[in-house]
Structure 1
Amino acid sequence: MRRLALLAVLLALLTGGPAAWAQDGPDYEAWARIAEQAETVTERGRASDEAMEALRGQLADWREQFLTAEGRNSDRIATLRSQIAALGPAPDVAAGAAPESEDVAARRTELNDQLARLRAPVIAAEEAYLRADGLIREIDSLIRERRTDRLLELGPTPLDPRLWGEAGKAIAGTVSALYDEAIRSWQSPTGHVKFLSNLPIIAVSLVLGLVLIFRSRIWMRRLVRRMRDATRRGSGVWRLVVSLGQIVLPLGGLLLLVKATELTGMIGPHASPLIDGLPVWGATVLLVWWLGDEVFSRADDVATVPLEPARRIEARVHVGILALGLAAHDLVVKLGGSERYSDEVLTVLDFPVLVLVGVSLFRLGLILSSRPAPAESDEDGSLSYARRLLWFIGRAAMVIGVVGPAMVAVGYGQAGLALVYPAVGSLILLGVLSVLQRLIFDVYYLVTGERDHEQGGLIPVLAGFVLILAALPVMALIWGARTADLTEIWARFREGYSFGETRVSPGDFLTFVLVFVIGYMATRLLQGGLRNSVLPKTTIDPGGQTALLSGIGYVGIFVSALIAITSAGIDLTALGYVAGALSVGIGFGLQNIVSNFVSGIILLIERPISKGDWIAVGGQMGYVRDISVRSTRIETFDRTDVIVPNSDLISGTVTNYTRGNTIGRVIAPVGVAYGTDTKKVERILQEIAAAQPMVLANPPPNVVFRGFGADSLDFEIRAILRDVNWSLKVHSDINHDIARRFAEEGIEIPFAQRDVWLRNPEALRVPAEPVGEAPAPAEEKPEEEPKA
């Protein structure tokens, strides 16, 4: 009776499902009946997981319809609310306020009635949505509790010798049934005739299938080796495509063998499930073998996991064992289902396979977490990120390889199986990702021609990131997540997030991004057109053109953001409250940035400096190369870039040598020896200054006799240049001419001299002999010369 009741509920769900829509919205009467039936099923909690999943799917469809119905008449409702807001708040007559006019009151009542009528279906959809969502949550919770209970259930242990005999009898019975089916089919007249009539096709299929199975992989490996040795552009992509033949050709041979077996006519009910599963098991083994050959390839430039050659060989062996273990596990499960084996028999049959898989998983994890080569470490000796990730994966595989079989051995069979085989599937998925990542690099090299595909570019790195994101749902399914869990996450994502009375969905976000990108591109196109076509034909100086283009860019980006927010339906009121609350804290934390930003706006408007000006600020001197809203880039005469905050240019002292024009003065000092004719020196210097082509004739250059120095008579040439940027060159040319003319005229350019005079020379005398030492011999007096 219980099963009949469940079937009746499912039939009602299928016949009265969400397809029954009225023109004005969902059929709430049908929904009420289904909701009541679903509540009854969840309260009893006796339905199977399959029935629960079917029920959940129906409720999810209804919830999707209610979510769509919540958005009905949204534009008209927003218009009515705006009209009511335009009338202002209703006066509080009880508080003594004057009543509003009859026309305004009647209009307010009419608008409120219209709003209530339009809001009624929306409120009904919201209520139904919450009810459907609650039922879905109850079903998910019930299913998760059941799965948790099964994982923690203590079952039979495969180490119990009493179960071995039962497992042996079950296998013997299956083998006997397969043998009897084959004999009966052979002995039957129709089966014998069918076999003989199909014998040529069977023989050809058998021979061709065996050749493809045992020889095609060798042929493809030779071809792949030749393509790998070729250094042509794109060889990595074509090599990978050709290597897929190691899967396709042997699998084709296996299909031929299956076809030949079916043509014999000896396949009965017991052998049919096994024959049907052969292609799946073969494809699994071939795919994992091929993946192991790619990830742990013999060629260093092909292997995606950097290991020593000997370790790569061992890793390929264990990958092949894992492939056979997966196929054997699926064979046991399918055999147990078709032959109706008990849980004890399945546990005993699957335990040797599980142990073999656990040992290979442990060894493979040991290989992955082995000590790396010095080339795989960073400069400071620490492991690279990829190597640390491999170490973590290897350690996890080692732990699972030991813990999983141990849990099955003590009786927690479901938990052990849910640990080991998902771990193998995760390693396979990671291998597929590494091969696909290498393929992306090879394709990038094929398209761009850049050989540094280890570094790659932004595009292959982003593509690898997208691969990782796409693999997350697959990884979740491998570890036991339900498809309904993933669809629920997607439904929540599509539902969006609420900010006050505004709900932002992924569609709104995409609308915002699309509109903003269009506005941004339009702004850049306008800037490019003005920069290349319009502004060069005007009389605006380059600094003004830069300021105008920058202002158009900022205004365009701001307007694009406003239009994008409005198009996405985001209410700026709530964001305004948040921005106001955060403005105080942000103001204190970002006051320097804001100061530089405002200073940049002032620089672009007032333009005290422009691009290309020669300025000096804060001890730095150079040419202005770029002015942004936060800082200004100055290129010094040493060809180094100095980033100066804009606030320093506004609040500090700035010397602009070329503001408005390039006229400037050069001063060339020179000294002559004392005793030189000063008028002659002045005349020579005047001639030298006037001979310089960059010196202006009006005003004429001037020679100044500055004074009497410590070592020389000091003169200066002061001249106005038509381009101050050439001041150093002109100064150097003047010095060369001075040295040449003074040498011709015999005028000396002195250098500094100093006379040293000792005030106390007696301080340099030798001190007296110390007491106690023998006196020095007396000096002999020189003989006096005879007087004349």
Structure 2
Amino acid sequence: MILALALGAEGFGPHGFTGPAQAQDSPFAGDDPVAKAPSTLDQIQKKIDSLADVPTRSGNNDRELMAAKSALDDITGQLLAMKAQIAPRQDDIAARLKDLGDPPKDGQPPEATDVTQQRNKLNAQKGQVASVLNRIDDVSKAANDLAIKIITTRRELFTRQLLAHTDVSVDSMGAALMSVGPEMRKFVDLVDGWVSFAWRFKKISLASALVLSLALALGIRFTLHRLLGPVIERGKLEENPSYMSRFSVAFWSTIIPSFAFAFFLISTFFFLDNFNVMRPDIQPIINSFFGVFWLVFFAARLAIAVFNPWAPKWRLVHVSDRGSRRLVAAFVGMTTINGLDYAMGSIAQTLGSPIELTVLKGMMSSSLIGLILLVVSFTRPFLPKTEEEAEAGRPWSKRTALALRVCGVWLIFTALIGYVGLARFVATQLILTGGVVATMYIGIRSGRAVSERDRFAETMVGRFMQRRFNFGPVALDQFGIVAGLLIYGFVFIIGVPLVLVSWGFQPPDIQTWFYNLFIQINIGGISISIVGIFSGIAIFLIGVVITRWFEKWLDGNVMARSQVDAGVRNSVKTSVGYFGAIVAGFMGLSAAGINLSSLALVAGALSVGIGFGLQNIISNFVSGLILLFERPFKVGDWVATGTSEGFVRRISVRATEIETFQRQSIIVPNSQLINASVGNWTHRNKLGRIDMQVSAKAINDARHVMAILREVAGEIPGVLRTPEPVVVFKNFDGGDLEFEVRVFVGDVLNGLSVRNELRLSIFERFKAERIILKEEAPATADPPAPALDA
């Protein structure tokens, strides 16, 4: 009743207590997202309706289809964000209704009027939220259906263009040849008019664009060369470079110039466009030629990096000098022909050239590429490892030669029978996809070379880190692994989109895929975000670092100054560490987008499992976590338990593997190591004490025997001088004197050899000093050997 009066007095809105209750016609305020959702959804529905006729109206224009698909992707993202903002309101309203309780039944006392009004308002809000969410689902379905229709239309368009059959008869080719001259004159007039226009009216803008582009490109190249150039130049000085060094130099000598040249071309196009130097009719032509320039430049750099006609020791493939030159020429030639084909296609589209000329151009370029493949298949480029590079070489393998010939003949035949689009597409993929995949392979091998053991320390970055931060070999080796992973990521982030673009996928499609990959991956009802996962990991690591710093500060400042007992200090520090790690873990899980309520289900399942007989497994699991965190012993320690003694080889969350001195592996459950006493000979350090029992006859002088034992113990290699050896006269029983020699060794793992050497030295010294250990027989000239009990 008190809750009812409070709710009625103050009002309980969608966001909690909102002040005095106000009578409103709408269950939500005007600026509330739920109240604004209907108008927003109306606008979104209008956008979807305006795009509904795109598949039929622009069925032959892939650019318009791609733009419509991109707009639908934006709409879908907006709808998902709206739903994510509104959906939690259902649970909030349901919780408030549960707090209010059920309305009174017939025969029960009536409730307060304010409570009834508040319940009615919450029910109205609940109905409106449900209505908005249903509307969002309907609009999302409409957007997804239209997107699927556009994707299907684009796929059909691609198939039609790829498998389109054109006329390649004598008459059509003759007409195409007759149109070459007029089209060339039209192109020359177009370029001449633009050059005259730029020189007369845009001279300063043209010069500024070129100078700025060149300055930026040189800056990029200088920066990259500054970072990676010394590694490449130093590598080139190697007399016999390793295979991995060759891969690394090839990768960076291809990427750095290609990236700088691409930046120059892109910035030039950008400045020319923004300075209004380009006219709309010349813009697609310049764009296509810039693409051809970069493609040919990249192909030349890649071919030289792989085959290297001038430096045989840096070749990635064991080919002859003549073979390397021919392969470089073939690859660059095919790339140039294919690039000019597409540049001329852009010219033909701008000038409105006859379709026969386009067919002739595509047929000639595909046939020339096929002819080059045929010529390459008959070359003899490869060398056995024992031959010199100047030798003639041996031919391709039968399978490779056959594949090249079949591919070359197929390209020529397909173009001649009229499937020019298919032939051009296959020729393009042979060049673009092959070049990108080859570069990716070189990059992967380069990353592997950097991440090899002790290789990162040889790089410029590694030496700088060693000099600046005084990192050791182990730390540098770990950084090498990270550097290799970064190179792998760089290769795939750059290479995969290029391969997809070459196969006809548009950049907005690739952008959407990457966005969905890194922002939201839906698996059933679970949403996973790679960015969220990395954010959660980063938050967890930061939390652990802060926890460790707080532990040291609390232990070294607060408790040390308060003269708290060492045991209490250790307990408090350990508890703080566990608590901080748990809090950091929960924060990381929350940042990663993992619903913490699912952990309650896991805990409930575990409790049921424990009730059905998993006590031992859970006990071992928790004990393993304690062992891993507290580290009472570590891998390599010499431990002694109640049942076994040996070296720790592996610690897992369930059991610990101990290898005995007889090389027997014993798997000990972790709970036994936690609940029982465990001796660790090497916990703090490897310092240890060796005790040896020695007996002698009472006829000997006890002080003299003790002096001999002390002297012998001090001369044994491996025995520490501090603490010094100790000899104890333990007992005398009848005719025997019992002594104990105690020595300390720096490495208890070498105790067996020290013990053995000590026995031998005592035996030899007793024999020399004629120490009697038992009654001498009458015929014995020399004293008997001592009996050592150790």
- Scaled by the length of structure 1, the TM-score of the pair is 0.62
Q: Which residue of 1 aligns with 2:165?
A: 154
Contact 1:154 1:411 in 2 (8 A): yes
Matching of residue 422 in structure 1 with residue 446 in structure 2:
no
Q: Which residue of 2 aligns with 1:477?
A: 501
Q: Which residue of 2 aligns with 1:413?
A: 420
Q: Which residue of 2 aligns with 1:132?
A: 143
| Pick aligned residue for 2:339 from 308, 311, 327 | 327
**CA distance in 1: counterparts of 2:398 and 2:71, whole angstroms:** 45
Amino acid at match of 2:730: P
**CA distance in 2: counterparts of 1:323 and 1:540, whole angstroms:** 78
Contact 1:45 1:142 in 2 (8 A): no
* Residue 601 of structure 1: how far off its partner (Å): 5.6
Matching of residue 513 in structure 1 with residue 513 in structure 2:
no
Contact 2:649 2:658 in 1 (8 A): yes
With over 3 angstroms needed to count, the CA separation of the structure-2 counterparts of 1:100 and 1:504, relative to structure 1, is farther
Contact 1:601 1:629 in 2 (8 A): yes
Q: Which residue of 2 aligns with 1:560?
A: 584
**CA distance in 2: counterparts of 1:239 and 1:508, whole angstroms:** 32
Amino acid at match of 2:731: N
Contact 1:613 1:624 in 2 (8 A): yes
With over 3 angstroms needed to count, the CA separation of the structure-2 counterparts of 1:741 and 1:393, relative to structure 1, is same
**CA distance in 2: counterparts of 1:578 and 1:282, whole angstroms:** 59
* Residue 300 of structure 1: how far off its partner (Å): 4.8
Give the stretch that moved more between structures: 287-296 or 437-446.
437-446
With over 3 angstroms needed to count, the CA separation of the structure-2 counterparts of 1:51 and 1:35, relative to structure 1, is same
Contact 2:65 2:150 in 1 (8 A): yes
Contact 1:616 1:655 in 2 (8 A): yes
**CA distance in 1: counterparts of 2:553 and 2:293, whole angstroms:** 63
Q: Which residue of 1 aligns with 2:369?
A: 357
Q: Which residue of 1 aligns with 2:740?
A: 719
Q: Which residue of 2 aligns with 1:616?
A: 640
* Residue 146 of structure 1: how far off its partner (Å): 2.2
| Pick aligned residue for 1:171 from 168, 173, 180 | 180
Contact 1:499 1:574 in 2 (8 A): no
Q: Which residue of 2 aligns with 1:702?
A: 731
Contact 2:689 2:745 in 1 (8 A): yes
Contact 1:295 1:304 in 2 (8 A): yes
Q: Which residue of 1 aligns with 2:693?
A: 668
Contact 1:666 1:718 in 2 (8 A): no
**CA distance in 2: counterparts of 1:532 and 1:391, whole angstroms:** 74
With over 3 angstroms needed to count, the CA separation of the structure-2 counterparts of 1:577 and 1:702, relative to structure 1, is same
Give the stretch that moved more between structures: 398-407 or 165-174.
398-407
Amino acid at match of 2:177: G
Can you give the 5+ residue segments of structure 1 that lack an aligned partner in the other structure? 1-20, 186-190, 199-222, 260-267, 376-389, 672-676, 707-714, 753-788
With over 3 angstroms needed to count, the CA separation of the structure-2 counterparts of 1:55 and 1:601, relative to structure 1, is closer
Q: Which residue of 1 aligns with 2:301?
A: 290
Give the secondary structure class of the aligned counterpart of 1:72.
helix
**CA distance in 1: counterparts of 2:614 and 2:41, whole angstroms:** 54
* Residue 405 of structure 1: how far off its partner (Å): 3.5
* Residue 465 of structure 1: how far off its partner (Å): 1.3
With over 3 angstroms needed to count, the CA separation of the structure-2 counterparts of 1:613 and 1:40, relative to structure 1, is closer
With over 3 angstroms needed to count, the CA separation of the structure-2 counterparts of 1:137 and 1:480, relative to structure 1, is same
**CA distance in 2: counterparts of 1:598 and 1:349, whole angstroms:** 73
**CA distance in 1: counterparts of 2:710 and 2:608, whole angstroms:** 64
Q: Which residue of 1 aligns with 2:459?
A: 445
Contact 1:368 1:391 in 2 (8 A): no
Amino acid at match of 1:408: A
Q: Which residue of 1 aligns with 2:77?
A: 64
Q: Which residue of 2 aligns with 1:776?
A: none
Give the secondary structure class of the aligned counterpart of 2:51.
helix
**CA distance in 2: counterparts of 1:147 and 1:629, whole angstroms:** 55
Q: Which residue of 2 aligns with 1:35?
A: 48
Contact 1:690 1:701 in 2 (8 A): no
**CA distance in 1: counterparts of 2:759 and 2:548, whole angstroms:** 49
**CA distance in 2: counterparts of 1:736 and 1:43, whole angstroms:** 103
**CA distance in 2: counterparts of 1:242 and 1:550, whole angstroms:** 50
Q: Please give the residue correspondences for 1:198-347 in structure 2 after superposition, counting only pairs within 5 Å.
A: 240=253, 244=257, 281-297=292-308, 298-300=310-312, 302-303=314-315, 307=319, 309-338=321-350, 340-347=352-359
Give the secondary structure class of the aligned counterpart of 2:691.
strand
| Pick aligned residue for 2:520 from 496, 500, 508 | 496
Contact 1:361 1:398 in 2 (8 A): yes
Give the stretch that moved more between structures: 98-107 or 478-487.
98-107
Deviations 1:39-85 (A, max 9, x none): 35547886744443343343333333323322335665554344345
Give the secondary structure class of the aligned counterpart of 2:179.
helix
**CA distance in 1: counterparts of 2:98 and 2:377, whole angstroms:** 68
Contact 1:689 1:719 in 2 (8 A): no
Contact 2:66 2:506 in 1 (8 A): no
**CA distance in 1: counterparts of 2:282 and 2:771, whole angstroms:** 122
* Residue 489 of structure 1: how far off its partner (Å): 2.0
Give the secondary structure class of the aligned counterpart of 2:594.
coil
With over 3 angstroms needed to count, the CA separation of the structure-2 counterparts of 1:138 and 1:594, relative to structure 1, is same
Contact 1:702 1:719 in 2 (8 A): no
Q: Please give the residue correspondences for 1:541-552 in structure 2 after superposition, counting only pairs within 5 Å.
A: 552=576
Q: Which residue of 2 aligns with 1:144?
A: 155
Contact 2:688 2:745 in 1 (8 A): yes
Amino acid at match of 2:740: A
Contact 1:151 1:415 in 2 (8 A): yes
With over 3 angstroms needed to count, the CA separation of the structure-2 counterparts of 1:48 and 1:586, relative to structure 1, is farther
**CA distance in 1: counterparts of 2:122 and 2:413, whole angstroms:** 72
| Pick aligned residue for 2:66 from 53, 56, 61 | 53
* Residue 307 of structure 1: how far off its partner (Å): 4.7
Q: Which residue of 2 aligns with 1:202?
A: none
Q: Please give the residue correspondences for 1:85-100 in structure 2 after superposition, counting only pairs within 5 Å.
A: 85-86=98-99, 90=102
Q: Please give the residue correspondences for 1:597-636 in structure 2 after superposition, counting only pairs within 5 Å.
A: 597-600=621-624, 615-617=639-641
How well do the aligned residues superpose, as a CA RMSD in angstroms? Answer: 6.4
With over 3 angstroms needed to count, the CA separation of the structure-2 counterparts of 1:604 and 1:368, relative to structure 1, is same
Contact 1:246 1:290 in 2 (8 A): no
Matching of residue 740 in structure 1 with residue 752 in structure 2:
no
**CA distance in 1: counterparts of 2:743 and 2:294, whole angstroms:** 84
Amino acid at match of 1:337: Q
**CA distance in 2: counterparts of 1:586 and 1:305, whole angstroms:** 61
Give the secondary structure class of the aligned counterpart of 1:717.
strand
**CA distance in 2: counterparts of 1:424 and 1:653, whole angstroms:** 69
**CA distance in 2: counterparts of 1:653 and 1:368, whole angstroms:** 74
Q: Which residue of 1 aligns with 2:488?
A: 465
Amino acid at match of 1:476: L
Contact 2:180 2:357 in 1 (8 A): no
Contact 2:700 2:771 in 1 (8 A): no
Give the secondary structure class of the aligned counterpart of 1:719.
strand
With over 3 angstroms needed to count, the CA separation of the structure-2 counterparts of 1:394 and 1:75, relative to structure 1, is farther
With over 3 angstroms needed to count, the CA separation of the structure-2 counterparts of 1:553 and 1:44, relative to structure 1, is same
Q: Which residue of 2 aligns with 1:210?
A: none
* Residue 525 of structure 1: how far off its partner (Å): 2.7
Number of paired residues? 647
- Scaled by the length of structure 2, the TM-score of the pair is 0.62
Give the secondary structure class of the aligned counterpart of 1:457.
helix
**CA distance in 1: counterparts of 2:174 and 2:420, whole angstroms:** 19
